[in-house]
Amino acid sequence: MLAHLIVDFSYFLNTSNNYKKTKKFFYNFLENGDYKYKKYFDFFMITLIFISVAILIREVKSEVSANLLFINNYIISFIFFIEYILRLWVSSSISTVILEQNEHDVMIEEKFRLFKALRTAGRMKLKYIFSVKALIDLLAILPFFHELRLLRIFILFRVFKLFRYAKSIQTFTSIIVAKKFEFFTLLIFSSLIIFMSSVLIYVMEANNPESSINTLFQAIYWSIVTISTVGYGDITPVTAEGQVVAMFVIVAGIGVFSFTTSLIVTSFTEKLDEAKDLKVIDDIAKIKEFYLICGYESVAKEVCKRLILKNNIIILDENIQKIEQAKKDGFIALNYNPGSIQSYKKLKINIQTQVKAILCLGESDVKNVYTALTIRSFNKDVYILSLLKNQANKNKLNFAGVNEMFYEKELVGIIAKEFVGKPVAFEAIHSLRSNYKNIDIEELLITQRILETYANVGDLENKKYAIVLLGVYKIAKKRFFFNPIDSTMLEAGDYLLVIGNTQFIKEFHTFLQTKVS
């Protein structure tokens, strides 16, 4: 009967939206580093820690008011106690364990083993309770029992709670953990030197009445102070034998100190790029809209230069040299493989709301296909445009889910065919290609305001600015019309593709905008 009630209650918890929302809310606040409001909670807890330690320091030699003691011993401790209980709650789900055990037992047609489920859940909770962070949390709330004055010293453990809230401290801890084998080896080596030098200096100095080393503890203290290169000078050997031991310990201490320093510096150097990438990822998460560029090669460079004028862009490439070049060019770039799903998980972006379009601009059709397939595996709707290098791979990119393709050779062929025998247009294209006299090509958007004055191509007056109208892209028909006739009607959303002097194009664009104002 009891087992049945527990299973029913577990089902109730796991199907209750209010319960799940509440637990998720506290989990985000306590554990989810990506939750936007967590930083405010962390700042609040750090403030409480410093207040608590400040009260303890003042209490040593000065009288502390009863109100401050009440705040420290009860209010702050109670807040830490509530935090500890909440962390214990969200660390694992007892109801889920019970339901999994019940479903397993039903499947194998056995009686529900409630004790086994509770034992498993208990082990999960105990694993958290005996974790380093949980033990620090527990020690930090012991001053709550302030009647035992000795327990007030555990207020100092609240300082260790800073490891939970400060990212920089967490980064340092992760570096130490990453090199734990090297640090463990260093610890063993240092311990052996301290042990041998302690025994030797004790044997050499203990029977000398003038020596300040009379106990083994003093010998160990001297060894640690000496090998750490601190050298307080309060305890020194007086015999020749003891001084010889001291010389060996000093040399060994220099070696240990040098090895420790190089180990930490190397670890930080290895983690520096990763830390920078994490900072960039945090900044990307704050961008409302951007274009995602996959690959940074010749075409991508030109596209990025155009897009960055009015849009945010993020570049992904697995080649570190190309990423470094992109950063030098002033773009936000990450050394991630665009064809790997793990790259997009690390980015922590919402493709549905943040990414305006994904541009696969690698110089290899195979890479572009893999990138498109990866993106389509977790998002079916985002717009994907891809560069097509080989016409034979067009169907592969279609099957991969690419919305549109840009085939360079096909575009050049169409332009050449359209303007054969037209020397002015040919000269404009030639000048553009050779970058003669700052000739450039631009896309100009037709807005509803412009349409109020310019209904068709013939009204544009582009010739007054020595601007060549290469064509019109009709957004409604999704088709580009080369060399359109004057009677071609314009619609809101259409793009004019114009060629001319860079300054003239800017003046022409300004003219279109000011004419309708």
Q: Is the confidence at residue 288, as pLDDT, over 70?
A: yes
> Highest-confidence range of 51-60, 86-95, 175-184, by mean pLDDT?
86-95
CA distances from 483 to 195, 205, 408, 471 (A): 89, 101, 19, 5
Provide the pLDDT for residue 316.
92
Mean of the per-residue pLDDT values of the chain: 80
**How much is the pLDDT for 292?**
92
More confident residue, 514 or 217: 217
Q: What is the pLDDT of residues 247-280, one digit of tens each?
A: 888 888 888 888 888 887 777 776 766 777 777 8
- Mean pLDDT of the region 185-207: 86
Is 428 in contact with 417 (CB distance < 8 Å)? no
List all residues 6 or more positions away from 212 whose beta carbon is below 8 Å from its beta carbon.
218, 234, 235, 236, 238
Asked if residue 197 lies in contact with residue 227, where contact means CB atoms within 8 angstroms, the answer is yes
Query: What are the C-alpha distances in Å from 115 to residues 94, 108, 122, 459?
Result: 12, 17, 10, 85
For residue 235, give both structure tokens: 């305890």
Query: Quick one: pLDDT at residue 517?
Result: 46
pLDDT digits (tens, 9 = 90+) for 21-61: 999 899 888 888 777 788 888 888 888 888 887 887 787 77
- For residue 130, pLDDT over 80 is answered with yes
Task: Compute the distance between CA of residue 113 and CA of residue 98 in angstroms, rounded to an integer.
Answer: 9
How far apart (Å, rounded) are the C-alpha atoms in residues 396 and 379?
18
Q: Tens of pLDDT along 302-348?
A: 788 878 877 888 999 988 899 888 988 888 888 888 888 888 888 87
One DSSP character per residue, 235-287 reads S---SHHHHHHHHHHHHHHHHHHHHHHHHHHHHHHHHHHHHHHHHHHHHHHT-
Q: Select the more confidently predicted residue: 116 or 2.
A: 116
Distance between CA 435 and CA 428 in Å, rounded?
A: 10
- What is d(CA 418, CA 412) in angstroms, rounded to the nearest whole number? 10
Beta strands in 75-181 (DSSP E): none
67-76 pLDDT, tens digit each: 888 887 788 8
Q: Please name the residue that has the structure tokens 């003038």.
A: 210
178-182, 383-387, 411-415: segment of lowest average pLDDT: 411-415
Q: Mind listing the pLDDT tens digit for each residue in 198-243?
A: 888 888 887 787 778 888 888 889 888 888 877 777 788 888 888 8
pTM of the model: 0.52
> What pLDDT shows up at residue 165?
66
Of 224 and 146, the structure prediction assigns the larger pLDDT to 224
Q: How many CA atoms lie within 13 A of 55 on its CB side?
A: 21
Q: What domains lie within the chain, and their CATH numbers?
A: 2-165 (no CATH), 180-273 (1.10.287.70), 287-409 (3.40.50.720), 419-515 (3.30.70.1450)
